[in-house]
């Protein structure tokens, strides 16, 4: 698949999203499918209550379009186990996010599925991904110099927590208007470009769906947002990134490429550890994930989003350089 073909797909998806998003927003408003705001969150977020959520439904359409285009481009006879694993992994995470958003609306609470339920679904999804794709995914992590760091069963012991953790890292980053979408843009742009050089089947093409979705979503999610993507979108974006990482063999590079998301997840883990080890007396951050820490410091949302975007872009460049050394 040529760069021209890939760019055409992005443009088509972009125009489709921009045309359909207003329809989706209108339907969600009529269905009163709106966002609830946590009481313990920043006080400024209360004004966002009632904003339609579920924008990730558009990402599902993008994934379907890319999958159909991939098949129609002559890849049907080359459909691999990795392609099946990728589509299943992304679909399960997208549907679990949708279920989570629906439960929030039906039960009128800001928590949908319980923590252990989400973790169980995500773990099953990751296990199925590695089980189905095991013949197409190299179970080894090595440096550019060829030094093997992890291999065999140890690979899966590391890969499983990584897959589940990164999906949740994307979800945790979705806390400010435009933050996840903007931070995702350079990441999926690099992933899509890398797929032009080293194709990895459907897992290499779905970043196109994520890129187009993030770009068009920003049109409606800038401060103040007229639509939230919800867990439907954030979990699916994380799943697309994870599938690309293992499908393309860029596990080490992804630590830089997805560094911003890992930092968001790490801030939550560190906050909980410090809080518990101190007997519930101390906190490392004013609030976690770390983007809320900066809100508590008095930074305005657009300032945080823009600076996180710059950081994500720099990390994406570093990740691209690391990929070029392989």
* β-bridge mates for residue 142, sequence order: 148
Residue (of 197, 183, 211) closest to 7 by Cα position = 211
Instruction: Look at residue 182 in the predicted model and tell me its pLDDT.
Output: 96
User: What's the pTM value of the predicted model, to 2 decimals?
Assistant: 0.94
Per-residue burial over 227-258, b if 16 or more Cβ lie within 10 Å, else e, is bbbbbbbbbbbbbbbbbbbbbbbbbbbbbbbb
How confident is the model over 194-216, as pLDDT tens digits?
A: 988 888 899 999 999 999 999 99
Instruction: Say how many residues make up the chain.
Output: 326
Instruction: Look at residue 128 in the predicted model and tell me its pLDDT.
Output: 97
| Cis status of the peptide bond prior to 224, with omega within 30 of 0 | yes
Please tell me the distance from the alpha carbon of residue 32 to that of residue 53, in angstroms, as a whole number. Answer: 9
Instruction: Look at residue 117 in the predicted model and tell me its pLDDT.
Output: 92
Please tell me the distance from the alpha carbon of residue 153 to that of residue 151, in angstroms, as a whole number. Answer: 7
Please tell me the distance from the alpha carbon of residue 264 to that of residue 271, in angstroms, as a whole number. Answer: 11
Please tell me the distance from the alpha carbon of residue 154 to that of residue 302, in angstroms, as a whole number. Answer: 42
pLDDT at 217 over 70: yes
Domain ranges in the chain are 3-252
Residue with tokens 């009632």: 50
How confident is the model over 31-43, as pLDDT tens digits?
A: 888 877 665 666 6
């Amino acid at each position: 698949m040529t760069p021209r073909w890939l760019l055409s797909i992005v443009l088509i998806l972009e125009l489709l999203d921009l045309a359909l998003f207003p329809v989706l927003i209108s339907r969600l408003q009529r269905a009163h499918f709106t966002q609830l705001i946590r009481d313990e969150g920043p006080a400024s977020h209360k004004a966002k209550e009632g904003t339609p959520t579920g924008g990730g439904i558009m990402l599902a359409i993008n994934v379907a379009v890319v999958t159909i285009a991939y098949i129609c481009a002559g890849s049907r006879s080359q459909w691999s186990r990795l392609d099946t694993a990728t589509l299943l992994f992304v679909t399960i995470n997208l549907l679990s996010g949708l279920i989570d958003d629906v439960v929030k609306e039906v039960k009128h609470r800001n928590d949908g599925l319980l923590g252990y339920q989400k973790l169980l679904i995500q773990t099953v999804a990751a296990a199925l991904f590695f089980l189905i794709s095991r013949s197409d995914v190299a179970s080894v992590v090595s440096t550019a110099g060829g030094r093997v760091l992890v291999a065999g069963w140890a690979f899966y012991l590391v890969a499983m927590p990584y897959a589940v953790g990164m999906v949740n890292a994307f979800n945790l980053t979705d806390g400010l208007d435009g933050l996840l979408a903007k931070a995702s843009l350079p990441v999926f742009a690099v992933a899509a470009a890398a797929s032009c050089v080293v194709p990895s089947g459907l897992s290499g093409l779905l970043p196109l769906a994520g890129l187009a979705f993030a770009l068009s979503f920003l049109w409606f999610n800038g401060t103040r947002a007229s639509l939230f993507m919800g867990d439907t979108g954030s979990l699916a974006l994380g799943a697309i990134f994870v599938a690309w990482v293992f499908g393309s063999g860029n596990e080490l590079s992804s630590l830089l490429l997805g560094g911003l998301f890992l930092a968001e997840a790490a801030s939550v883990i560190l906050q909980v550890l410090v809080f518990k080890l101190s007997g519930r007396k101390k906190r490392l951050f004013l609030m976690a994930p770390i983007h809320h820490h900066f809100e508590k410091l008095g930074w305005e949302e657009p300032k945080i989003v823009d600076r996180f975007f710059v950081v994500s872009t720099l990390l994406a460049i570093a990740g691209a350089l690391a990929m070029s050394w392989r």
